[in-house]
Chains A and B, each alone.
Chain A
Amino acid sequence: MSLARRIIPCLDTDGARVVKGVHFEGMRDAGDPAELAARYNAEGADELIVLDIAAARDNRPTFLETIRRVAEQLAIPLTAGGGIQTLEAARAVVRAGADKITVNTAAVERPELLGELSAEFGAQAVVLAIDAKREAGDWQVRIRGGRQATLLNAREWAQRGVQLGAGEILLTSVDRDGTQSGFDTELTAAISKALSVPVIASGGAKVPAHFLEVFTSGAADAALAASIFHDKLQSIRALKEFLKGKGVEVRLPC
Chain B
Amino acid sequence: MNVTLIDYGAGNVPSVQRALRRLGAQVESTNLPEKMASAHCLVLPGVGHCAALIAALDAHSLRQPLIEAIGRGVAFLGICLGLQALYESSEEAPNLPGLGLLPGRVTRLPEHVKLPHMGWNTLKTVRSTRLLDSVPSDAYFYFAHSFAAPAAGPESAAVSEHGREFIAVLEKDNICAVQFHPEKSGPAGAQVLGNFLRAAA
Q: Footprint of B on A, CB under 8 Å?
A: 1-6, 41, 44, 46, 71-72, 74-77, 94-95, 97, 99, 119-125, 167-168, 195-198, 221-222, 251, 253-254
**Total A-B contacts with CB atoms under 8 angstroms apart:** 111
Task: Tell me the minimal C-beta distance from B157 to chain A in angstroms.
Answer: 15
Stretch at the interface among B27-35, B99-107, B119-127: B119-127
Is A254 a contact of B19 with CB atoms below 8 Å?
no
State how many angstroms separate the Cβ of A50 from the closest Cβ of chain B: 14
Distance of A71 Cα from B75 Cα, bound (Å): 28
Residues of chain A lying within 8 A (CB to CB) of residue B162: 2-3
Q: Report the bound CA distance from A6 to B114 in whole Å.
A: 14
Q: Is B199's beta carbon under 8 Å from chain A?
A: no
A44 to B186, CA, bound (A): 8
Q: Please encode chain B, from 172 to 189, with 1 for each CB lying within 8 Å of some chain A CB and 0 for all others.
A: 000000000101111111
Offer 12 A-B interface pairs, CB within 8 angstroms, sorted by A.
A1-B122, A1-B159, A71-B14, A75-B19, A76-B142, A99-B11, A99-B144, A120-B52, A121-B48, A124-B144, A125-B11, A167-B116
Total interface residues on B, CB under 8 Å, equals 42
Residues on A with C-beta less than 8 A from B183 are 75
- Looking across the interface, which residue of chain A has its beta carbon closest to that of B182? A75
A124 engages B142 (CB within 8 Å): no
Interface residue B117 (Cβ < 8 Å from any Cβ of A): yes
Interface pair B136/A121, CB less than 8 Å apart: no
Query: CA A195 – CA B52 in complex, angstroms?
Result: 26
| B12 contacts A by Cβ under 8 Å | yes
Chain B neighbourhood of A168, CB < 8 A: 116, 118
In the complex, what distance in Å separates the CA atom of A97 from the CA atom of B160? 27
Select which of B14, B118, B145 is within 8 A of A97 by beta carbon: B14
**Chain B neighbourhood of A71, CB < 8 A:** 14-15, 18
Decide if A254 touches B187 in the complex (CB within 8 Å).
yes
**Complex CA–CA separation, A83 to B201 (angstroms):** 44
Interface centre among A3, A44, A46, A197 (most CB of B within 10 A): A3
Bound together, the chains give a CA A46 to CA B144 distance in angstroms of 13
- Cα A103 to Cα B150 in complex, Å, equals 34
A46 / chain B contacts, CB cutoff of 8 Å: 119-120, 142
Question: Which residue of B is nearest A90, CB measured?
Answer: B11
Closest B residue to A45 by CB, please name it. B186
Extra pairs beyond A1-B121, A1-B159, A198-B116 (18, CB < 8 Å): A1-B124, A2-B162, A3-B121, A4-B119, A41-B186, A75-B190, A77-B144, A95-B14, A97-B15, A99-B184, A120-B48, A120-B52, A122-B11, A124-B47, A124-B146, A196-B114, A251-B140, A254-B187
